[in-house]
Structure 1
Amino acid sequence: MCSWTQLWCFSFLYTVQLFVHRPHLGKGWPFHWLLYGPLVDYVLAYHDATVIREGPAPDPKGRYLFAMYPHGVYGVCRAFSGGVGCWQALFPGIAARWGSFGAAFFLPGIREMSLFSGCIDASKPVLERAINRGENVMLLPGGIDEMNLTDGESKETKLVMTDRKGFVKLSIENGMDIIPGFCFGEKWIHHTIRLPHFIQRILRPLRMSDTLLRGRGITLMGFLDPPLAYVWGEPIKVRQQKPVDDKYLDEVHQKVAESVVSIFKRYKARFGYAEDETISLVSAADAKRKAR
């Protein structure tokens, strides 16, 4: 269909635009057509997913930071941030930009999918510019450290949370209420395969995952037992401060942690978790040590 010369030219031009065209550091790409379209509903329907919002619908005129847990290896929980039957029904009149790790925007395919889904760089300056434009923010605060702790064979779900307070500080500085949530079944969607240690040592400084996925058959399509579910907690009200008082920062952070743990304990039996399944909060340093 095309010559090797054409393929090399395309590859060269694509590589150049990775470094020249950087919309993730600006306003990103138009994303409502995909993130809030029917495709996301099909993904949730495939997983026979359930989503719950506790409390009344938030005020569309408010400002919100959505904090999702746990990260998971594939991050399928992101599907609960969109759709027509899902998101638009539970959070009418509200949209949010995703903050994503910078390396994602240099990976072919992942870059385009991220931009089409509304992702921008998760660095503080980029997120603050989005907030100043009047946009809400969606984050997976546990990041790659939490991703590497995903273990479907463990009875303990570990969240990298004790020292991850940057998202709370961002919300306080900008007067954004925090809406936390927990995804049930994320750790069972895919089977995980850890890469050899010498590859892990190369990838970790780049903040990239050292885990491969295995889905149904030869595909990456997720396993369906138990069905996927997500629970959004009630908004945690935030009083704007700048500079942020450390005591108030710890207070709000503690409320977020308590909300996530409470959601897990109250809903785990309903969504297929055994009685002896537990949840624990760890630091990023602990996560790095345990992932070795």
Structure 2
Amino acid sequence: MLVLCTQVFFMFAPVNGTSKWGRSIARFICRYGLGYFPVTLHVEQYEAFDPKRAYVFGYEPHSVVPLGAWALTDLISCLPVPKMKILTTSAAFYVPFMRQIWMWLGSVPATRESFSSYLADGYSCVVSPGGLRETLYMNPGSEVAFIKSRKGFVKIAVQNGCPLVPVFCFGQNNAYRWWNPNINLLTRIATALKSLPVFYWGRFGTPIPYRSPMHVFVGKPILVEKKDQPTTSEVNEVHGLFVTALHELFEKNKAKAGGYPDLHLQIM
């Protein structure tokens, strides 16, 4: 009973995301974690970023866990963007103890309200538009970006006048092995619970990921005109620019990432 009460407490207890010792723990996790794989960050054009502006980083692929996204966090990133939040599925914040870690790392629930609120407060946000649904279409030896119908993040970026930045991580899919049972009922349940619709495992069958070098490439910002109520055609136009920029970023850098010259990106 004591264990259960403790778990429930840590599921709902208030967390100070700016706690000095909490952030120190998060910084240690980031540095050790990124060095474990390792993860290398490549930025096409540093001078294109204004530290006084908020940006929306569209990160792909989601994979089982978007581990490479932590290379963008303001805890360790060399990007000239001082305030950064990483949007994470709400279900992650109901896992005892891990909830505290996510918040210290700079994660916030991936809701429209929090997304818009942080952008309005000057925070840049990292979002993986493919989301958990994207994992249903993963295949070894290829990459997939489930973004053709994902336009909500584009609309929010336009409403806040925040430039969109394409980001692609090579090697992330190798961090875990996975199995997709392809059972409709399980998929529906996982979607309803906002959890992974596939089974996955790391080293020795544990959640510890395999050591797989990752290369995170950050493209140039796509400037957008701020509009409080953008039309569908306006959102579609900006979304098209983002999809094109992401694909070009992938093709331009897949050979540089080491071992991926023939890799194919399927945009769904």
Say whether the fold is shared (TM-score over 0.5).
Answer: yes
Aligned counterpart, 2:84? 96
Aligned equivalents of 1:116, 1:105: Cα separation in 2: 12
Aligned equivalents of 2:116, 2:74: Cα separation in 1: 25
Aligned counterpart, 1:73? 64
Cα distance, 1:219 vs. partner?
Answer: 4.0
Pick closer, same or farther for the CA change 1:35–1:263 going to 2, 3 Å: farther
Cα distance, 1:172 vs. partner?
Answer: 0.5
Aligned equivalents of 2:74, 2:113: Cα separation in 1: 28
Q: Verify: 1:156 aligned to 2:162, yes or no.
A: no
Asked if the contact 1:175–1:241 (Cα under 8 Å) also holds between the matched residues in 2, the reply is yes
Deviations 1:148-173 (A, max 9, x none): 3333x2x4311111110100100110
Aligned equivalents of 2:143, 2:187: Cα separation in 1: 22
Q: Which runs of 4+ in 1 moved over 6 A?
A: none
Aligned counterpart, 2:116? 128
Aligned counterpart, 2:27? 37
Cα distance, 1:143 vs. partner?
Answer: 0.7
Q: Name the % identity.
A: 22
Note the residue ranges of structure 2 that are not aligned, 5 or more in a row.
none
Q: Verify: 1:60 aligned to 2:14, yes or no.
A: no
Aligned equivalents of 1:63, 1:185: Cα separation in 2: 28
Pick closer, same or farther for the CA change 1:275–1:166 going to 2, 3 Å: same
Instruction: Give the aligned residue type for 1:209.
Output: L
Q: Verify: 1:178 aligned to 2:164, yes or no.
A: yes
Secondary structure of 1:236's counterpart equals coil
Pairwise CA RMSD? 2.6
Asked if the contact 1:31–1:118 (Cα under 8 Å) also holds between the matched residues in 2, the reply is no
Asked if the contact 1:37–1:83 (Cα under 8 Å) also holds between the matched residues in 2, the reply is no
Aligned equivalents of 2:50, 2:24: Cα separation in 1: 23
Cα distance, 1:175 vs. partner?
Answer: 0.9
Cα distance, 1:31 vs. partner?
Answer: 6.8
Q: Verify: 1:253 aligned to 2:239, yes or no.
A: yes
Q: Verify: 1:266 aligned to 2:252, yes or no.
A: yes
Pick closer, same or farther for the CA change 1:142–1:196 going to 2, 3 Å: closer
Asked if the contact 1:180–1:232 (Cα under 8 Å) also holds between the matched residues in 2, the reply is yes
Q: Verify: 1:208 aligned to 2:201, yes or no.
A: no
Asked if the contact 2:73–2:84 (Cα under 8 Å) also holds between the matched residues in 1, the reply is no
Instruction: Give the aligned residue type for 2:73.
Output: G
Asked if the contact 1:175–1:239 (Cα under 8 Å) also holds between the matched residues in 2, the reply is yes
Asked if the contact 1:38–1:83 (Cα under 8 Å) also holds between the matched residues in 2, the reply is no
Instruction: Give the aligned residue type for 1:100.
Output: T
TM-score normalized by the length of structure 1: 0.80
Cα distance, 1:238 vs. partner?
Answer: 1.1
Secondary structure of 1:61's counterpart equals coil
Cα distance, 1:9 vs. partner?
Answer: 3.2
Aligned residues: 264
Cα distance, 1:224 vs. partner?
Answer: 3.3
Q: More displaced, 71-80 or 162-171? A: 71-80
Deviations 1:30-89 (A, max 9, x none): 2782597343122222213321101133110112111110001022122212376x51x2
